Structure 1
Amino acid sequence: MSTLTTASGTASRTNLGPLTTTFTYPASCTVVVQECDACTNGWQAQTCSDNSFNAQGVQDDAECWPPRRGSQSTGVALNGWGFYSPGIECPAGYTTKCVSTDDVDGGFTFQFPLAKSETAIGCCPTGFQCKYTSGVDNAQTCFSIATTGSFAAVQCSSGKSNGFGYLDIPNTVAETNSGSEEAVTVSSFTVYAPLFQLHFQSSDLPSTKTGSITIDSITTSSSGSSSSAEPTQASSSDGGLSTGAKAGIGVGAGLGFIALIGVALFFMRRRKRHTAAPALTEVPKSELTAGQNQHAAELHAQSTPQELPGDSVPRYK
């Protein structure tokens, strides 16, 4: 860990190492760990384990992060581990969603500050957005709000899974308050996922990558010392984010904010070579008939996910 003096003071920087090749985000990492039946949020990239930080035993699954140097604390969900440098490749199933350059105003304010001449990008799952407000959020994350659809979910209790199933949104569940049971409707659900922060300098990039390409929606909002993405409604098919427009500029073209877009274009073109994993995809209702058993075997209290067949829905043992 190193420190960097910024306008707002001294900030810590943890370089997790390089990320220059594509890391495949495991299918098991897309399963959402739900806090409770009536809760309206959950987290990807978690595992049920022996974790003293919370009663459920939920903690970060280290297998869901690209290879890194050193050991990181996994006790607090999505608390931010550090940044990858040089980092020039978002994981498969992820895409560039926010960007900032050290000497350009208007970029996203990341949890881990940039050094001079550095550019940072934030990688999020398809259909998600970057989120971080300094002084408000404990750490930066990716998020998506679902108002309709069905996706894989699980809950943890005392470090073990209480059963894998599908969470339908909207959904009505029974909740007990003061000894009486009442129906609670969950009309929307917010899913959080790891935000992978990648740093690079111009010398780290290939000299090619020009032409007309398609870019995804990118969040680059900033206000004073804070920056965050506004919640967006996700559809059941692709998370509800628009595809964006085509632009014919190369990396390094233009100045100021155009430079930020140029960086985003470069990374989006690299991502188009890989097949993205779906986020919060709707499960056909024929697979969720009332007579089916939607629960798989119990998850062991360990941090290593089980190997999955390539064409199956993630399951926990």
Structure 2
Amino acid sequence: MPTATWASDYDLINLGPLTTTFTAPPECTLPVQGVGLGPDAYEPDYILWNQQCDIVSAGNCLPSGSAMDNDYNSRTGQPNQGYQLYYYSPAAACPADWKTVGLVSRANDGLLSYSGVFDPSWVTRPEKSVTTNTVFNPLVHRWANELGPQETGIACCPSDWIPDINAFCFSNFPAGKFPGTTACGIENTNWPPGTYVPGSFPLGNQTVTGIVLSLTTTLDLISSETTFPSGYWATADDDQEWEGIATQNMIFLATGGASPAPTPKQTFTETDAFSQATGATLSVNFPNKASEMPAAAI
């Protein structure tokens, strides 16, 4: 996989090799990306309120976190700021206290083998979405599509967290444990920052037609901090129950290429990846394949 690749309006950025198992320093506490609140009806990962308005930096809590922060900050004012997926190569071991949630490899004939979050069954929004069964190209697949022959890709999440097809991991907690009495609401005044158009893209070993986003402008974000009464989130209001959501960037590793890929140091099982899923299922209409998988929101 090259150092930098452009894939469906996203930059795929190689932060370099990860030759040893990364262990975060003691002062790092999960999650790095942030804590938020979402309506329980959109469970499990739809955030409406964030603990803070500022973007949480990776720092030294993720491998090459400072390089990740610097790259993000260098894109200020550009249409593609925030449209990056960072990965490490060559690398074959998830960080300490993380687990493998997906494996994908490309054979010499170009075909992919996959499991976990790289399985194309995870391509539709959950049943309650207004865009049910709209096929889109998830971030995890945009990255997997760039693997070369004999190259293996690995997706990692913190242990006991749940993977999401849009390249992050999450963990739910009772809303009453949301820290503090303030929360930040962020509004995108020019969402989407481009145009959604029909498009074809590789998904697994097939080409499908769905929707893609063509970036044309920067996001104009307006954030506002709101104070709530103590204990507000612990009880449901008349219309909505709330749920706490902790999020963390998914870590991607790539290894192999010119020679056969080494065996990853962690073993993936679907039980590990989906043991904390909500239990809801959705029926996926996929060319030549129909299956049921745990629902995953985007």
Q: TM-score range by the shorter chain?
A: 0.3 to 0.5
Q: Which has the higher contact order (CA 8 A, sep 6+)?
A: 2
Max radius of gyration: which structure? 1
TM-score w.r.t. length of structure 2: 0.47
Q: TM-score when scaled to structure 1? A: 0.45
